[in-house]
């Protein structure tokens, strides 16, 4: 939320009755928080994309809020912002309130941001989102706080750096093992192996012991995906979205003929 906009909203909320007032009571996109409820928070409504309600556009248009999208094609984000009165500027523009980028910003770019500008990535958030960095950080936490406290992933090796260690472990337990690129998503590049010779060492990958006795639903493999929004690391503030997804395999455990998944809607209780 731009600082100028916050001040303007405070002044507007305390203005005389004959002026047009923007407050929590008469506009669904503004929620007042903080001490004496004087900090405005902009609330986005997904249904605005379909309803095209002009009332939803009032705040963005009145305060000339703008955004830019860089190195990604976030059509849903663009639709949400446009439906709330934000206008899009060129990716090279420095006049914006929100930058939605598909890559992490360099430190020197983060230092140039004003108080009125926000980005969709925390600095170094790839320490959690990249598989190799997450693996290294979990190992570090195991050393710091004890193995049992962070025993949350199977035996894993980062290749090619730990190839010798992997081969030594493979000689004791031949698998299967699962291979994943360190910086990929949506299951791209993931495959199973039974022999180290099946692995390409041309890029950094993670190799983990395949869990051969996972929790099943009626003999079907599944996973649950929950969505969270992290607004602060210090103090840590996390919002859990009330809806999520569960994926259920079409074939029972042990049948590798079909790797398709069935998406199921779930609600967080």
Q: Is the peptide bond before 85 cis (omega within 30 degrees of 0)?
A: no
Quick check: pTM over 0.75?
Answer: no
- Answer whether residue 127 is part of any domain: no
The radius of gyration of the chain's CA atoms, rounded to the nearest angstrom, is 24
44 and 101 within one domain:
yes
DSSP H or E stretch at residue 259: none
CATH of the domain at 106: 3.40.50
Query: Residue 11 burial by CB count (10 A; 0-12/13-18/19+): exposed, middle or buried?
Result: exposed
254 and 196 within one domain:
no
Model pLDDT for residues 172-191, shown as the tens digit of each residue:
888 789 999 999 887 889 99
Model pLDDT for residues 148-165, shown as the tens digit of each residue:
999 999 999 999 999 999
Model pLDDT for residues 200-237, shown as the tens digit of each residue:
888 999 999 998 788 898 888 888 889 998 888 888 88
Distance CA 164, CA 266 (A): 42
b/e per residue, 71-100, with b = 16+ CB within 10 A?
Answer: eeeeeebeebbbbbbbeebeeeeeebbbbb
Phi then psi for residue 245, to 5 deg, are: -130, 145
Containing structural domain, residue 62:
30-121
């Amino acid at each position: 939320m731009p600082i100028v906009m916050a001040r303007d909203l405070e002044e507007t909320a305390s203005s005389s009755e004959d002026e047009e007032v923007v407050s929590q009571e008469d506009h669904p996109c503004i929620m007042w928080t903080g001490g004496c409820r004087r900090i405005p928070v902009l609330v986005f409504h997904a249904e605005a994309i379909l309803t095209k309600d002009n009332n939803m556009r009032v705040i963005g248009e009145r305060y000339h809020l703008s955004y830019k999208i860089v190195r990604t094609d976030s059509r849903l984000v663009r639709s949400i912002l446009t439906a709330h009165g934000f206008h899009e500027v060129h990716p090279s523009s420095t006049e914006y309130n929100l930058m939605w980028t598909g890559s992490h910003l360099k430190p020197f770019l983060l230092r140039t941001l004003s108080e009125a500008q926000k980005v969709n990535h925390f600095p170094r958030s790839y320490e959690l989102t990249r598989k190799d960095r997450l693996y290294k950080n979990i190992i570090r936490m195991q050393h710091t706080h004890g193995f049992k406290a962070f025993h949350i992933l199977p035996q894993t090796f980062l290749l090619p750096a730990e190839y010798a260690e992997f081969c030594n472990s493979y000689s004791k337990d031949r698998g299967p093992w699962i291979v994943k690129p360190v910086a990929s998503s949506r299951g791209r590049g993931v495959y199973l192996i039974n022999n180290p010779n099946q692995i390409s060492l041309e890029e950094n990958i993670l190799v983990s012991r395949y869990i051969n006795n996972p929790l099943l639903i009626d003999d079907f493999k599944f996973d649950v995906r929950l969505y969270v929004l992290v607004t602060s690391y210090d103090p840590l503030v996390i919002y859990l979205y009330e809806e999520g997804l569960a994926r259920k395999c079409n074939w029972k455990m042990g049948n590798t003929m079909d790797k398709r998944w069935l998406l199921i809607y779930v609600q967080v209780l």
